[in-house]
A and B are shown apart, each in its own frame.
Chain A
């Protein structure tokens, strides 16, 4: 797997060299040498290095053999000469976020990966973050007196916070200007295009995220109050339009966005992330997300099951009936987890439909005989081990 990613990376670097200058004339600056520790930038890197060490130890960091290497491979295809300096970490947390520190440490949260519909959308986010890094926006912010003051006020909190909490604190401290965000957007698009991705996918990322936020009952019309990704970034409508216009001008939007490679890479963890998503109890957002996944891939049994779970947990008028209909549909689709039968058994039990309950629970136990709740389910069925 790693060899394949390495070969793809090399092939991409070759293509980059052949393409030369881009449509907008931006070239990534050269590799950033490690700054002297006595300088302001050196101090910043030292602090980031300490955070990175904590991140490596974090129980929330994904350590499997496939996904981290896959994400690192995408970052390398995008980062070109910066590849050796970029270190990506996939963190299990159900929110949409990614961040790159000035020393080359990049965090990608699983809530973001769950929401990306294809590899090109992941590349759009990673390319944006690499843009901040390569253009040294972190240092520029630190040089700004106002930002320095804000940064100093939060920096004391970092030593006692876990890496994920520290990320939020650091992001608050850096709070890139909207000009920086626009520049990073543009660089991100160019990196995507150079790496062979359709640049239009970048605008789809933001459109999808905004649709989710709007689906919440308490949507106020202000995305910046609901997601850290909108808090410092350009106005969402302006951003989407700009990204669309740039992508149209760049062309190449008929390229393969890479749906299958992303799905393969996240397959082992996808169910766990969907469970995490529901634990946020943002049912409007979850409903929008799972509906989008089901519509895009009508044969996606897992997404369909979790759409049913969203109905069940929201439990508004008529939701349990909708949950049952959705479970029943999901049960016939490929990729549905055995838990769909447990979910149906639970609703049948609540409704007093004993025969249907038994059938569903027995099917669940047949498929998951060692389930952690098997003993409980057997007690519902009145059977012993």
Chain B
């Protein structure tokens, strides 16, 4: 009994006990996400399940979020931040989406999100690209995560449709995970579409 208390206390102290879980993404012809955004199904993906909570920041991974991660921001309306953060001051610092934002400003908004805890972000490429049936953009970046100083590479696709932002961003450890998964994620981005 005493041992189990110790184990439980350690788990709580290290944050290993969490109300969220990872569940497998069913391999179906089309996976529909909030905002009527959908991608073609692929084997091996897991999604973060926050007890049925529907969020506009969805996380998918194959090997675990610290190693590889795809984030979907689907149907972000003008005036909305990419995520809700704790604390009024911190939330105020988080930029909000505006319908007239140019691609570089949308990338800046994502950059602000991922560097708010001290990570180092460098945009490596920004170019026009068709995405989800519209004239969108594609960007690449390098991220050094402050907490463990792992270097990540990333690629993102975005489009603004009917004044709403649809953004899909992939980031993974530069060694092995990024080159290994990029073709799958590219295929996923190519399959993206908006609307019923």
Decide if A and B are genuine partners: yes
- State the Cβ distance, B186 to closest chain A Cβ, in Å: 18
Q: Which A residues are CB-close (under 8 A) to B105? A: 346
Is the beta-carbon distance between B112 and A376 smaller than 8 angstroms? no
Residues of chain A with a CB closer than 8 A to B121's CB:
279
- Count residues on chain A whose CB falls below 8 Å from chain B CBs: 27
Q: B interface, by DSSP: helix, strand, loop or mixed? A: mixed
Query: Which of A58, A165, A349 contacts B147 (CB under 8 A)?
Result: A165
Residues in chain B near residue A372, CB distance under 8 A: 123-126
In contact, B112 and A279 (Cβ under 8 angstroms) = yes
* Chain B, Cβ-Cβ closest to A160: B148
Please give, as numbers and ranges, the residues of chain B lying within 8 Å of A34 by CB-CB distance.
Answer: none
Contact B144 A376 (CB under 8 A): no
Whether A60 pairs with B137 at a CB distance below 8 angstroms is no
A165 to B144, CA, bound (A): 13
The number of inter-chain residue pairs (CB within 8 angstroms) is 66
- The answer to whether B102 touches A346, judged by C-beta atoms less than 8 angstroms apart, is yes
Give CA–CA (A318, B151) in the complex, Å.
Answer: 39
Assembled-state Cα–Cα distance A92/B126 (Å)? 24
Query: Cβ of B104 and Cβ of A376 under 8 Å apart?
Result: yes
Question: A55 — nearest CB in chain B belongs to which residue?
Answer: B149
Q: How far is A255 from B104 in the complex, measured between Cα atoms in Å?
A: 46
Contacts of B137 in A (CB 8 A): 376
B103 close to A (CB within 8 Å): yes
Q: Is A218 an interface residue (CB 8 A)?
A: yes
Q: How far is the CA of A161 from the CA of B148 in the complex (A)?
A: 6
Interface string of B126-169 (1 = CB under 8 A from A): 11100000000100000011111101000000000000000000
Known contacts A279-B115, A372-B125, A346 near B104 by CB under 8 Å: yes
In the assembled complex, how far is the CB of residue A292 from the closest CB belonging to chain B, in whole angstroms?
22
Give the distance to chain B from A95, nearest Cβ to Cβ, in Å: 8
Tell which of A95, A163, A276, A281 touches B149, judged by Cβ atoms closer than 8 Å: A163
Interface residues on B, range: 20 to 34
Bound-state CA distance A162–B117 (Å) is 13
**B184 CB, min distance to chain A CBs, angstroms:** 24
Residues of A within 8 A of B145 (CB): 162
**What is the chain A residue whose CB lies nearest that of B118?**
A93
- Looking at the complex, which one of B89, B95, B104, B146 makes contact with A93 (CB distance below 8 Å)? B146
Query: In residues 78-128 of chain B, which contact A (Cβ within 8 Å)?
Result: 89, 93, 95, 100, 102-105, 108, 111-112, 115-116, 118, 120-121, 123-128
CB atoms of B112 and A281 under 8 A apart: yes
Is A39 close to B, CB under 8 A?
no
Q: Shortest Cβ distance from A178 into chain B, in angstroms?
A: 27
What is the minimal beta-carbon distance from B48 to any residue of chain A, in angstroms?
22
Q: Does any Cβ of B come within 8 Å of A240's Cβ?
A: no
Taken residue by residue from 155 to 196, chain A's Cβ proximity to chain B (1 for < 8 Å, 0 otherwise) reads as: 000001111110000000000000000000000000000000
On B, residues with C-beta under 8 Å from A are: 89, 93, 95, 100, 102-105, 108, 111-112, 115-116, 118, 120-121, 123-128, 137, 144-149, 151
For the A-B complex with A281-B116, A346-B102, A372-B125 known, give 10 more contacts whose Cβ atoms are closer than 8 Å. A162-B146, A164-B118, A165-B148, A276-B120, A281-B93, A372-B123, A373-B126, A375-B127, A375-B128, A376-B103
- Can you list 24 A-B pairs, Cβ within 8 angstroms, ordered by A? A60-B144, A93-B118, A93-B120, A95-B118, A162-B145, A164-B146, A165-B147, A276-B120, A279-B111, A279-B112, A279-B115, A279-B121, A281-B95, A281-B116, A346-B104, A346-B105, A350-B102, A372-B125, A372-B126, A373-B123, A375-B128, A376-B104, A376-B127, A376-B137
